[in-house]
Every structure is written in structure tokens, then in C-alpha cells.
Amino acid sequence: MKIGFLQQHNTADTRDNILRLAEGVADLARRGAELIVLQELHNSLYFCQVESVDNFDLAEPIPGPSTNMFGELARDYGVVIVTSLFERRAPGLYHNTAVVIERDGTIAGKYRKMHIPDDPAYYEKFYFTPGDLGFKPVETSVGRLGVMVCWDQWYPEAARLMALQGAEILIYPTAIGYESSDAPEEQQRQRRAWQTVQRGHAVANGLPVVAVNRVGHEPDPSGHTGGIQFWGTSFVAGPQGEIFYEASENEEESIVVDIDMRHSEQVRRWWPFLRDRRIDEYGGITRRFIDAPL
């Protein structure tokens, strides 16, 4: 399968962001991409750097304007598109939602971000209600997609549950970057840890992983911090954690990567982790913390 992704720098001009995304999708499709993955909250700046009720105006219903627009692109070019939207579910109820658009323009399924961070410059708990759709792959014409969003990518339980329900690939739209006060060596440790944990999901589950991050600097509207320098480094890894492609730390990129989806089954035959799981001994995993021996 040929997978395309856009690593984009966003600006305050939402209309221009969307126009560039549409042009990028069309270009990737013309270059042979069958599945196109976009970064987290790709229509706008990463607004979670501050807590402002005015930012809720960025949210939209699903179906809505963005799913209609990306649906037209999917239908015109015969591609499956993974989008990432600020969902207005009801007044006062909002989600960070990935929507998968089928090649005929219909909505194949959606995933609401389950793990919601709350850190300086990442005040997502102010905006997003935790997801309630579970970790369920989305069936599409190109395969069963295990789509999750950003902070979800640090949790092996989430990747495992997607794999146990038949996901054929793990996909993570992302918005993550450097804190300006961190030393350069600490910034690099964080970036590599981010990639390493996801490559671990690939190995542990015998599945390819696609992580698409935004890139470039976005200022803090409050001026309390130096803003976020998104670290790019979007990548595609194989089922043994091998890197098929790694994007730049500071440049926009539009990439098509060809993956042999059949290879996952062979890897799972060599390394039968699912066979050897001790499901009779994992009860403690559902507890927050184990204060005393089970």
C-alpha cells in the first residue's frame, strides 16, 4: 500500500491552511498514494497553548464543512484520507476527533482521542472531553486502520487493543514539539523517546506505524511561554520497528511511502507475541496502581 502524508506548518490563516492541505492531498494522490494521513488539528494553529472560550468557535460538527470538503477530495481522487478535527458534538461538549474518509467520499468511521494531556502549552483538558468510542479499528477499502491521536501514542495498552481487534496498521495524527526552555540535549531526548515508544508498538504488535506531526514555530498568544517549536520528524515504521522514512525536524514535507502490508503476517509468525501472551495473569493492568501484591 502506498501511504502519503503531509507534514505542514500552520498559520493563523485557517483558510490558507485548508487550501494548502487540499493541494497537498491532490498532489499525493497524483503521485500514487492510496491512503493519506494528515497531522493533528490540521485546519488551524494549535490553539491549546491557552485556555480561551473563544477557541471553541473553531469546532465543527461531524459530518460538517471539513468532512464534506475532504469527502469531495477523497471521491475526486479515489483515496482514503485520515483527518483530525475539533468536533462540536453538542453545546459544551467537544472532542479531538480523527475522521476516516473512504475513497467514495463517505465517512468510514471516527475515533475520539482517549488520552487528554494537560501540560503547560498543551491545555487540552480545557477543550476536549475524553473519547467514548473505544479503541476500535476503522474498516476501509485499503485495510483496517487503527487510528489514534497524539498523546494516545505513548500508551502501549491502546496500541495493543487496536491490534487485538484486527488493526492492520497503527496511525497517529500528532501535534508535539519542544518547550523553549528545555536544553537542546533534553529536546532531542524527548523527540527520540517519542519515536522509540511508537516503534515499540510496531514491534510488540507486528504492525506498521505511521505518525504525522506538524512542523515549525507557533507563538503562545498569551506571551507566557516562547511558544511551541513543533519537531516534525513524521515517520513510517515497519512491523519490526524499522524506519521506512523519517521527515525533517524543521521543513514541510509531502511524502509517499510504499509498504508491503503482507509482511506483518510473516513477522508475527517469527515473533508470535499474541500467541504467548499470559492473558490469565494480566488482571492488574486495569488498576490505576498496585499498592500491594495481587
Give the DSSP H or E segment for 188.
Answer: helix 184-205
Q: What phi and psi, each to the nearest 5 degrees, are found at residue 163?
A: -65, -40
At 84, list the grid cell: 483530525
pLDDT at 291: 87
Question: Is there a cis peptide before residue 63, judged by omega within 30 degrees of 0?
Answer: yes
In terms of Cβ atoms closer than 10 Å to its own Cβ (0-12, 13-18, 19+), residue 244 is middle
Cα 131 to Cα 124: distance, rounded to the nearest angstrom: 13
pLDDT at 182: 87
Separation between Cα atoms, residue 260 and residue 258, nearest integer Å: 7
Active-site pick, 40, 102, 124, 218: 40
87 and 62 Cβ atoms separated by less than 8 Å? yes
Backbone angles phi, psi at 62, to 5 degrees: -125, 115
Domain ranges of the chain: 2-277
Long-range pairs, 125-132, Cβ under 8 A, ≥24:
126/48, 126/51, 127/47, 127/48, 127/55, 127/56, 127/86, 127/94, 127/96, 128/94, 128/95, 128/96, 129/89, 129/93, 129/94, 129/95, 131/95, 131/97
Residues of the chain with pLDDT under 50: none
Q: Strand, coil or helix: what is 169?
A: strand
Catalytic (active site) residue 40: yes
The CA-based diameter of the chain, rounded to the nearest angstrom, is 58
d(CA 178, CA 191): 8
Which CATH superfamily includes the segment(s) 2-277?
Answer: Carbon-nitrogen hydrolase (3.60.110.10)
Note the pLDDT of residue 101. Answer: 98
* Rounded CA separation 62/88 (Å): 8
Contact 81, 73 (CB under 8 A): yes
CA torsion, points 78, 81, 86, 87, in degrees to nearest 10?
60
**Residue of 87, 102, 150, 218 with catalytic role:** 150
Q: Is residue 150 flagged as an active site residue? A: yes
Q: Any catalytic annotation for residue 110? A: no
pLDDT at 188: 95
Helices 14-30, 65-77: crossing angle, 10 deg rounding: 20
C-alpha cell at 293: 501484591
CA dihedral (31, 73, 213, 92) in degrees, to 10, reads -170
C-alpha cell at position 256: 509517499
> What is the distance between the alpha carbons of residues 108 and 105, in angstroms, rounded to a whole number?
9
**Could you say which of 113, 124, 168, 218 is catalytic?**
113
pTM comes to: 0.97
Contact between residue 221 and residue 49 where contact means Cβ atoms under 8 Å apart: yes
pLDDT digits 0-9 by tens, 22-75: 999 999 999 999 999 999 999 999 999 999 999 999 999 999 999 999 999 999
Helix axes of 156-164 and 184-205: crossing angle, nearest 10 degrees: 20
